[in-house]
Chain A
């Protein structure tokens, strides 16, 4: 099931096969692949400080009532990100 979105989204995305974190739904897991190049400076640093570095396993834990922001479990912490930021994080499928 988790692979579905990679198939589906893979074609549509400009960056080729790159799936993005904001596409995951609660309960799904993935590995962080990279952070987009348009995310620079403080924003990039903050994401990395919170554990969003390549290779980290991330799981979507819950969505806020209005569906944005979303809380991700990463390196033990529960971190809420807005969709606009999560869409700048590329992921690769985690084999469940």
Chain B
């Protein structure tokens, strides 16, 4: 937590008088006892999370695609002795919610009663953004319109006149370029002014509606006002109820309407409420009949017409546009029928190759240090301190060693892959991949945005499952959740890389080894993509039948990432975060492995019994008992599969080669000798191939399973997501083993 950290000298000091900047304390997530609540709302991809980070000093994930934030997150800061709690909301296109993350945002603004709502807009798409702004202002006047991305607008020859805009909207307008923290100080002052003001909440007058519409609206408005005189936005409510707004009607039925009031404390006893609210609902149902059929469209068009009028006055087109349009040029390449797919393939293949080739040396160094140097040192230390053998075994050969393994196999590839992926994400390439691939997803009966959740899955499947919230249709969302497991997560990359390097790379001359093993990993990843299509297709033609639903995807402008900032953030947030999770699981796993390898029943260790019990089935799958035991131990986290395999081999078979006593360690010092170790454990090329396949096709880790349950709230679909891949994995590996042996 970066609490109390103050930004020191900064390049944008013109905008932030130093003495006042010092009045800002970024408090991170410490949001207890806040004086004021500030909500960040607005269209997707306008920079809400970037502003959130600038205010709180937190590092909420940002990314150049719509729908990066799917759940709300909180943080806080202190400014001039007042403590503010900030809520970063998912982006929404309108208040008429049609997807889960939009509902989260809208309900917070409606029922969460923030003291200040910052409506973040994109200066380059002001007109469409104003559509949402106007809707928001119809609910509450305690708002600030933040026109962000003014740096990008300036590059396109657009300037925004904040004064004119503020006059037309009736609320303060602040211009910012949040990524450089330009205008953040102005924003703070504006927040403060609204927060401390005691003006009651007003709602923007809703005008320009034809009589045909305004009569029923006014009639219902009068009824609502009779029941709730203090309600500031009764007319808005009337309009929405007449428009058949499901979640508002729901809220009304539950008696939550009292919460919409200025002052929550005055809320009437809930027992009386439903009756009154039923009156309102009844009246609304009756009045609906009087409305014209295109009532809804009329409302939307009215808001747009007003937005267009306001935008026209506020936008100053200055000078010429850039002559060379980079976006168009890049899209010509990335989207082109000729180059689109090859470029996509080469880009990802290059990323994998760089990860594999680049991870080799640091992995060996880490291994050398943690396993070959520190481990013996710890052992002799324990001996010196007269630790009993079981204690030093349990702690050092079990817990420490498993952790050391995990760090040396995981850290280097992640530290290379994550920053590259984050750069690509910030650049704006991911939505283009979705655009390119949508056709295939459509044919599989799935949603094009599934490709984005899949790519999040390449980082972490649990994150990928949460990201499916960007898919509106429940059917297609479920397909995306079930198939997310076929995106190889970072916990599985090390298995792929290590096995490919040792067994596949060894098949070719040394100078080709790096390339060939990369291609092997890429092939497995592509097989995962293929399986995603096949399973999606299968699901949407059987249990999840249905029409392909609405697909709309906003393609953001390309944005040159801030290189060092991105690098830093992705190392700290993603790499170390994921590594930490792996370590947390590795410690107990190491303990378990040591215990099962050292506790004997009937003269043989538990691990021995397990391995021998599973060996026949493992053989049938072209694997072995050790691998299956490793997968059982690794249910909480895939990242410990390889360390478990290695430790089990050492503990069960490798002891004579490397050490003197059972249950103790080996002194391998490079990837090559790891290969020797695995071969000692009975690994063949078939084992290697099937291990790579099995690593792709098996049950999700327990965290992902739990996340699936939370997201679907269905035991049935959680079970399907868990067992479908494992059954498929068994079928695939068994088939390959059979064919392999028949041909051998």
Contacts and interface: CB of A to CB of B under 8 A. Distances in A.
A46 B93 contact: yes
Contact of A82 (B304, B336, B551): B551
Contact of A42 (B125, B442, B472): B472
B387 to A, nearest CB: 63
B212 interface: no
A2 interface: no
A45 B552 CA distance: 12
Contacts of B438: 64, 68-69, 80, 82
A78 B331 CA distance: 12
A11 interface: no
B554 A69 contact: no
A43 B341 CA distance: 29
B300 A79 contact: no
Given A48-B297, A81-B552, A85-B550, A53 B128 contact: no
B553 interface: yes
B127 A75 contact: yes
A65 B341 contact: yes
A65 B554 CA distance: 17
Contacts of B556: 78
B93 A79 contact: no
A92 to B, nearest CB: 16
Interface in A77-95: 77-82, 84-85
A57 to B, nearest CB: 11
A76 B551 contact: no
A interface SS class: mixed
Interface string B438-473: 111010000010000000000000000000000010
Given A42-B98, A76-B127, A65 B335 contact: yes
B508 to A, nearest CB: 33
A51 interface: yes
A65 B340 contact: yes
Contacts, number: 113
A39 to B, nearest CB: 9
Given A42-B472, A65-B336, A65-B340, A79 B442 contact: no
A25 interface: no
A49 B125 contact: no
B128 A76 contact: yes
A71 interface: yes
Interface residues of A, number: 35
Contacts of A35: 297
Nearest to B123: A76
A79 B337 CA distance: 19
A85 B447 CA distance: 14
A65 B345 CA distance: 14
Interface string A55-71: 11000011111111101
Sorted nearest first, the 4 A-B pairs with minimum C-beta distance are: A49-B93, A66-B439, A76-B125, A75-B128
Contact of B436 (A64, A75, A81): A64
A69 B297 contact: no
Nearest to A82: B551
Interface in B343-388: none
Contacts of A51: 127-128, 131, 304
Nearest to A77: B125
Given A50-B93, A62-B331, A69-B435, A82 B554 contact: no
Q: How large is the interface on B (under 10, 10 to 19, 20 to 34, 35 or more residues)?
A: 35 or more
B128 A46 contact: no
Interface string B112-130: 0000000000001111100
Given A42-B550, A46-B472, A77 B128 contact: yes
Contact of B553 (A61, A65, A69): A69
Nearest to B434: A80
Given A42-B550, A71-B435, A54 B301 contact: yes
Give the one of A47, A50, A78, A85 with max B CB within 10 A.
A78
B544 interface: no
Contacts of B440: 66
A78 B124 contact: no
B93 A82 contact: no
Given A45-B98, A64-B436, A69-B438, A78 B131 contact: no
A44 B295 CA distance: 13
A82 B98 contact: no
Contacts of B548: 82, 84
A69 B74 CA distance: 37
A74 to B, nearest CB: 8
Nearest to B315: A76
Nearest to B125: A76
Contacts of B301: 53-55
Contacts of A49: 93-94, 96, 98, 131
Given A48-B297, A69-B551, A82-B448, 9 more contacts: A43-B550, A49-B131, A65-B337, A65-B340, A66-B439, A76-B126, A78-B554, A78-B556, A80-B435
B411 interface: no
A63 B436 CA distance: 9
Interface in B316-339: 331, 335-337
Contacts of B551: 69, 80-82, 85
B104 interface: no
A79 B472 contact: no
A87 B725 CA distance: 38
